[in-house]
Amino acid sequence: MSEFKTRVARVLKQLRLERKMTQHAIAKELGISQQAYQDYENCKKRTLPKLEDFARLKWLYGVSYEYLIGETLVRRNHDIYENFKTAKNLNETLIKRLLEYENEMLELRNTINTLVSALKDMCDAPKRRKA
């Protein structure tokens, strides 16, 4: 039994149990026999769900093909988009904060330069009075 078939079987069973559905109910949705669906979950035969069954399962469970075949932990492509959108928002927020930080550092540098100049002037003032 291949690792791929084992992953598919594990995911199919997990999704069915999460929805508290029977193998009979899923088989009926797919238009196949309960035995055929049971074989998918138990990897008893060399068959995998047909492409149209994968499409129906994807729709029934609301997951991506990649999730169905165990290639990703992200259940829906929508989740990928939401994760990307969140990362993009975080990135924009981070850039905004970095720019604010950079401006604060520039202001601080200007303040330090002003103070250093004032201290130099104070130190140079007694020398100028003696001359």
Q: What is the reported pLDDT for 22?
A: 93
Compute the distance between CA of residue 49 and CA of residue 58 in angstroms, rounded to an integer: 12
| 61-76 pLDDT tens trace | 888 888 888 877 766 6
Q: Which two tokens stand for residue 53?
A: 């069954």
Q: What is the reported pLDDT for 20?
A: 92
Is the separation of the CB atoms in 67 and 11 below 8 Å?
Answer: yes
One-character DSSP codes across 98-122: HHHHHHHHHHHHHHHHHHHHHHHHH
Q: What is the reported pLDDT for 2?
A: 80
| 90-100 pLDDT tens trace | 777 777 787 88
Architecture of domain 3-75: Orthogonal Bundle (1.10)
Q: What is the reported pLDDT for 81?
A: 56
